[in-house]
Amino acid sequence: MSLPLSCAYDVVVVGSGPTGSTYVREVFEQCPDARILLLDAGPKLGDPPGGHVKNIADDDLRARAQRAAEGPAPARPGRPGTRLLGTPQLPAAAVSTNVGGMGAHWTAACPRPGDSERIACVPDDAMDRHLTRAEELLHVTSHAFDRAPFADVVRQRLSARFDRGRPLARRVVPMPLAVTARADGTHTWSGTDVILGPAARDSRVEIADSCLCLRVLHDAGAVTGVSVRDVGTGQEATIAASAVVVAADALRTPQVLHASGIRPAALGRYLNDQPQIVHAVRLPDDVVATADTVTGRTRAEEGGIVPQSGVSWVPFTAAHPFHGQVMQLDASPVALADEDAVRPGSIVGLGWFCAKDITAEDRVTFSDTATDAFGMPEIAVHCRYTDRDLDSIEGARKAVAEAGAALGTPLGEAPFLLPAGSSLHYQGTTRMGAVDDGTSVCDTFSRVWNTRGLWVAGNGVIPTATACNPTLTSVALASRGAGALVEYVRDRAATAVGSTAA
């Protein structure tokens, strides 16, 4: 990819994952004259740009796309489509570098946060509106696996174990998923192509892949643009912009701000990585034998996933301070059993996420001398489990064991804790806050303190100890922030018109 075609834009968005794409879509729809540049350091994996790799029917093409997302060689591959950072305290920490970001690889789980997962500094009614908008942008549904033959039995057994004493809204239900069911019952998984919609093919929006943002440029407390490098050629350029949104994930967004000399006291701090307990269970033979199973396939011939046991959700509550998801193995990002050795759908994976005890000492820092594979400041992670975390992990382990016993025959000796960083749900490093008191990086509309025209986006903005999958929440916050950005762009345009008229 060559460098951007223009040298000036109304809005530059750094990072093409779900939240960066949300800013593009909202500005595109509400500011019909705005010119928008969407940057990503990684390549396009296919057409449409930002599509989910699960929608690629050919196994070889899908694997090739996943390898392309790992970043420059030599890479340390993590989960398919990711690159390990190699940080000792968070050994499974990994990132994707491609158009669409992690939105090209995610499980598409979109639960709403509840109880203490809610963000205190955003009014509940406003947050609910933003969550609804996020569900619209992501095409979220709770009915994706209605035709899955084992799903009802799985949920009935989970409900019998966990629903007692829960409010109606926090009982076991099908997991809300960002997918679209096809007529034959298979699925199209939402990537950022779904969020971008018509913006992805409009001349007002330019998508520059393999184009690395080196720094956000600023002067007198306001952004002036970005400095970028073509990853392939090494050519650098300066791009002028009225506003910049940095949405490069919870590890690389603070990296970009650090490299730019924009360093609020809370930058990189309050890192939240959700400890994850996993297990696998074989459903009883009578359940499998009596269900109207699929024809022995785990993937449809034209791509997508064949419904089997679906994805169920055990929500977080104050009494059950974990988020549980139970899913058929081909929908799970963690390989827990050999699918080919058993009847399709007869084994389900269980994953329970814990809400991390958030402290300022859990953080990412950046070197002023050493650099990473892209030539950016090298990332170091400082993170540990507190006594409260260890108690929570043991509680989750017991909950997973109880869920497994309720469902069927557990495989393996016991539920186990994945290496730190395995959740890929990193949060808090550019957290929002109601006031600029040194404990937040941005305000409740994601505007970076003391730098006009600069927004941050992504899971890093979430300030709360959450256990649920964070994408829906971060897209909701991006939609909220985009409302403020739209006003900013309109005001700048009106000022420019007024100056011309004068």
Kindly state the average pLDDT of the residues 242-248.
98
pLDDT digits (tens, 9 = 90+) for 293-348: 444 444 444 445 566 788 999 999 999 999 999 998 655 555 555 544 456 568 89
pLDDT digits (tens, 9 = 90+) for 122-169: 999 999 999 999 999 999 999 988 888 888 999 999 999 999 999 999
pLDDT of residue 6: 72
pLDDT at 487 over 90: yes
Contact indicator for 254, 464 with CB cutoff of 8 Å: no
Contact indicator for 244, 453 with CB cutoff of 8 Å: yes
pLDDT of residue 248: 97
pLDDT at 442 over 60: yes
> If DSSP codes are grouped into helix, strand and coil, which group holds residue 416?
strand
Q: Which helix (H) or strand (E) holds 412?
A: strand 409-417
Query: What value, to the nearest 5°, has the Cα angle with vertex 282 and ends 281 and 286?
Result: 140
Structure tokens that stand for 152 in this block: 């009802």
Structure tokens that stand for 113 in this block: 């946060």
**Using CA atoms, how far apart are residues 423 and 66, in angstroms rounded to an integer?**
18
pLDDT digits (tens, 9 = 90+) for 29-49: 999 999 999 999 999 999 999
| Residue whose C-alpha is closest to residue 259's, from 297, 227, 294, 306 | 227
Contact indicator for 134, 472 with CB cutoff of 8 Å: yes
Peptide linkage before 48 cis (omega within 30 of 0): yes
Is 361 or 151 the better-scoring residue by pLDDT?
361
**Using CA atoms, how far apart are residues 41 and 211, in angstroms rounded to an integer?**
5
Name the residue ranges covered by the structural domains of the chain: 1-108+191-265+429-502
pLDDT of residue 328: 81
% of the chain at pLDDT higher than 70: 91
CA neighbours closer than 13 Å in the CB half-sphere of residue 382: 11
pLDDT of residue 341: 47
C-alpha distances in Å from residue 326, one per residue of 105, 285, 330: 18, 18, 12
Active site residues: 425
> If DSSP codes are grouped into helix, strand and coil, which group holds residue 342?
coil
Q: Which amino acid appears at position 478 of this protein?
A: A
CATH topology (fold) of 1-108+191-265+429-502: FAD/NAD(P)-binding domain (3.50.50)
pLDDT at 236 over 70: yes
**Using CA atoms, how far apart are residues 91 and 38, in angstroms rounded to an integer?**
31
DSSP character at residue 305: B
Task: Strands of 5-92 (E only): list them.
Answer: 8-14, 36-39, 83-84
pLDDT of residue 302: 46
Q: What SS3 string covers 218-236?
A: EECCEEEEEEEEECCCCCE
Kindly state the average pLDDT of the residues 195-199.
97
**Using CA atoms, how far apart are residues 28 and 33, in angstroms rounded to an integer?**
8
pLDDT of residue 344: 57
pLDDT digits (tens, 9 = 90+) for 69-87: 999 877 788 899 999 998 8
Sheet strands side by side (includes 140-141): 140-141, 177-181, 187-189
